[in-house]
């Protein structure tokens, strides 16, 4: 991390590039990211998150709509939903990109079966990797497979900003951002840097997951991001041998929460072996078994999301709420 005075940040871009190049030449270095952060006396105190999130946000050139796929809790299958939703949107004829914003636990490369490193034509702007007609970028593609991102918050958000601004996404109808669990720095940074068309919230049916999903919805509303809807993942399990249906985590909780909060309900995704196997193997079920009930469930969600983008979100963001 290079700390410079706020007024000098722009002038140090070349220094950052030189630092990255120098470190790459060192023996044993597999990847490096240098991040510029403003520091010094005279820097203004940060505004409240709600006050700063929307006014400075902007679009990404060539991208028509940016959607955050989020969950308040980890382990609910959010990244699996994000990947299959992105691929389902491509099947609807959309030009789609997927950015992995989970800096500490990136999973998009595994879910899509991506290997190798992104290329750069000019040494500065990265070309997204492509798989199944989908453009994708993840910090996991810039680090060795098992290397942890042991970074403090400012460095992680700096890396995120570079993924947002230094990737040649080209012309896209939709860019999905697979968010990390929780409601922390990364979420606020995304809301501050780009104008989100909305957020898709993923939850499992049980109360503990829905409690955190509520927090996620509240966070997006506080930064004035429309909620496109809630997806209930692992909604039901159907035995492949006998056809018996079992609600292992309960059932209908996300639909009830959506109704209570005035948020669209986007659909139910079953708990199915093919979804898990496809995720582990980098061959998503929407591609390998497009006519299966589970792939059709993802398609139904994609159709509702696409309709939301066409018509505008059903629910308007709540009035501005200032954090104190």
Strands (E) in the chain, as ranges, are 2-4, 36-38, 63-70, 96-100, 129-131, 134-138, 172-178, 198-203, 227-232, 237-238, 245-246, 265-268
- Shared-domain flag, residues 87 and 23: no
8 Å CB contact between 73 and 205: no
* Residues 142 and 238 reside in one and the same domain: yes
Q: How far apart are CA 205 and CA 232, in angstroms?
A: 6
Q: How confident is the model at residue 30 (pLDDT cuts 50, 70, 90)?
A: low
Evaluate if residue 9 carries a pLDDT over 70.
Answer: no
Same domain for 166 and 252?
Answer: yes
Q: Report residue 216 as tokens.
A: 């996620």
Tokens 């999130």 correspond to: 53
- pLDDT per residue as tens digits for the range 149-194: 656 667 777 778 788 888 999 999 999 999 988 767 788 888 878 8
258-315: pLDDT as tens digits:
999 999 999 999 988 899 999 899 999 999 999 999 999 999 999 999 999 988 655 5
Does residue 6 share a domain with residue 88? no
Question: Domain for residue 324, yes or no?
Answer: no
Number of domains in the chain: 2
Tokens standing for residue 323 = 């954090």
Is the same domain home to 252 and 107?
A: yes
Shared domain for 25 and 117, answered yes or no, is no
Q: For residue 250, what is the domain's CATH number?
A: 3.40.50.300
| 137 and 30 together in one domain | no
Confidence of residue 33 (pLDDT cuts 50, 70, 90): low
Whether residues 7 and 78 share a domain: the answer is no
- 131 found inside a domain: yes
Q: How many helices (H) and strands (E) does the chain have?
A: 11, 12
* Cβ proximity of 160 and 186 under 8 Å: yes
In this structure, is residue 17 part of a structural domain? yes
**Are residue 174 and residue 240 in the same domain, yes or no?**
yes
Average pLDDT over residues 194-214: 88
To which residue do tokens 């497009």 refer? 290
In a domain, 323, yes or no: no
The string of pLDDT tens digits covering residues 106-124 is 889 999 999 888 898 888 8
pLDDT digits (tens, 9 = 90+) for 207-265: 888 888 888 898 899 888 999 999 999 888 877 777 777 777 767 788 899 999 999 99
199 within some domain: yes
Q: List all residues 6 or more positions away from 244 whose beta carbon is below 8 Å from its beta carbon.
A: 238
Domain that residue 24 falls in: 2-38
Residue 115 counted as domain residue: yes
Q: Round to whole Å and give the CA distance between 62 and 121.
A: 18
């Amino acid at each position: 991390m290079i700390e410079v005075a706020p007024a000098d940040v722009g002038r140090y871009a070349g220094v950052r590039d030189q630092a990255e190049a120098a470190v790459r030449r060192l023996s044993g270095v597999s990847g490096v990211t240098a991040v510029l952060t403003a520091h010094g006396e005279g820097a203004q105190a940060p505004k409240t998150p709600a006050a700063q999130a929307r006014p400075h946000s902007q679009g990404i050139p060539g991208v028509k709509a940016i959607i955050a796929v989020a969950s308040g809790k980890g382990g609910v299958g959010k990244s699996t939903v994000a990947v299959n939703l992105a691929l389902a949107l491509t099947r609807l004829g959309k030009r789609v990109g997927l950015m992995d914003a989970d800096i500490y636990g990136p999973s998009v490369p595994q879910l899509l079966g991506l290997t190798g490193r992104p290329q750069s034509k000019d040494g500065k702007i990265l070309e997204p990797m492509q798989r199944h007609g989908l453009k994708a970028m993840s910090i996991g593609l810039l680090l060795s497979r098992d290397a942890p991102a042991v970074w403090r918050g400012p460095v992680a958000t700096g890396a995120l900003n570079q993924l947002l601004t230094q990737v040649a996404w080209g012309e896209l109808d939709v860019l999905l951002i697979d968010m990390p669990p929780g409601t922390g720095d990364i979420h606020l940074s995304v809301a501050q840097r780009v104008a989100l068309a909305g957020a898709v919230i993923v939850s499992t049916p049980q109360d503990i997951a829905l409690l955190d999903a509520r927090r996620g919805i509240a966070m997006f509303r506080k930064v004035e991001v429309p909620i496109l809807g809630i997806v209930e993942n692992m909604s039901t399990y159907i035995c492949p041998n006998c056809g018996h249906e079992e609600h292992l985590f309960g059932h209908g909780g996300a639909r009830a929460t959506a109704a209570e909060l005035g948020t669209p309900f986007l659909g139910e995704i079953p708990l199915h072996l093919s979804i898990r196997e496809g995720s582990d193997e980098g061959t998503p079920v929407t591609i390998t078994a497009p006519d299966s009930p589970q792939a059709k469930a993802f398609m139904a969600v994609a159709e509702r999301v696409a309709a939301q983008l066409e018509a505008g979100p059903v629910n308007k963001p709540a009035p501005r709420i200032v954090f104190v």
